[in-house]
Amino acid sequence: MKVRKFKHRFGNDILIIAMISTVFIASCKKENVVSQPGTKQASVVHASGSTVTTAAASTYVRQHLLFENTFENATDMNLWATQEKAFANSIVISNTVTHTGHSSMQVLVNKTDPIVTGGIRAEVTLKQEPVVKVERWIGYSVYLPSSFIIDPEPEIIQQWHDMPDLAEGGVWRSPPFALMTQNGRWSLSVRWSAARLTSDETTAGKIYDLGRYRNSVWTNWVFHIRSAWDSTGLIEVWQNGVLVLTINGPNAYNDNTGNYFKMGVYKWVWMPGKDTGTSTTTSREVYYDDVRIGDQYATYKDVAP
């Protein structure tokens, strides 16, 4: 295999969600076989809509998956609802580095990139959840190359973004869930409010430190999220197989529509009018692999990369 706490508010996130039915199929049962370390098998889609992955040697059959992308096929990028990127090569399937198998998703953002959906970003998205209060298991692997130098300014690496009730006067806010890097460290931003039609000024939030990041190695993440604006909320975080954080309590906004999953780099501090000149880098490159999202019946094993 080859191969940052912050006080800044996130920018508005304007997005038209493409309703692609092949991304989240709540009614199908997706079963995958977890292969031995170092192997990755291509998925076979059956006429019934279920997907089965087979391997010669297996120890566990993955179940209750709503989404899976291992980036092994050229068409795997079509599994995403939308791609928010400045250029064709901002998000691509690449064989430069890989967690398992032969390829991964490469994301590249430059400070000089044009504005995309209200920010400097390169992200893939899934369609929004029907309601806010859902329970999900999420797993994926992230690789920060040696070029990913320490920057005192933050960037989002993966997020669950809210869908404000615009027709009722709602406005775009910072995401309720965001995995970030800043000053050479991982962190998790969690925001919430039980009130209706809120803004960043009327919501609460907290940043949790998740330790120093390492370059040129894969970091495996698993998140168990019970999304809620009240005391029933839960977030559990595993890093490289170790439970590193448990948050009990609110972690979402009180909206009519649920959040949506986004993966990629969002560097809002490079935006004109928000750039303070303190960022020490002009480019961010990140690789992602083995992305899985499970429903409320899933377990750690079902989504672990």
Task: Tally the residues of the chain.
Answer: 305
**Residue (of 114, 300, 128) closest to 223 by Cα position:** 300
Q: Is 299 helix (H, G, I), strand (E, B) or coil?
A: coil
- Give the whole-angstrom CA distance, residue 268 versus residue 153: 10
Q: In the chain, which residue ranges form alpha helices assigned H by DSSP?
A: 300-303
pTM of the model: 0.83
pLDDT of residue 55: 41
Domains of the chain, residue spans: 65-303
Q: Please name the residues in contact with 242: beta carbons below 8 A apart, sequence gap of 6 or more.
A: none
Q: What is the pLDDT of residue 59?
A: 84
Architecture of the domain spanning 65-303: Sandwich (2.60)
Nearest Cα to 138, choosing from 110, 160, 162? 160
What string of pLDDT tens digits covers the 305 residues of the chain?
A: 444 333 344 444 433 333 333 333 333 333 344 433 334 444 333 223 334 343 434 589 999 999 999 999 999 999 999 999 999 999 999 999 999 999 999 999 999 999 999 999 999 999 999 999 999 999 999 999 999 999 999 999 999 999 999 999 999 999 999 999 999 999 999 999 999 999 999 999 999 999 999 999 999 999 999 999 999 999 999 999 999 999 999 999 999 999 999 999 999 999 999 999 999 999 999 999 999 999 999 999 999 99
Whether 2 contacts 103, CB under 8 Å: no
DSSP code string of 237-252: EEETTEEEEEEES--S
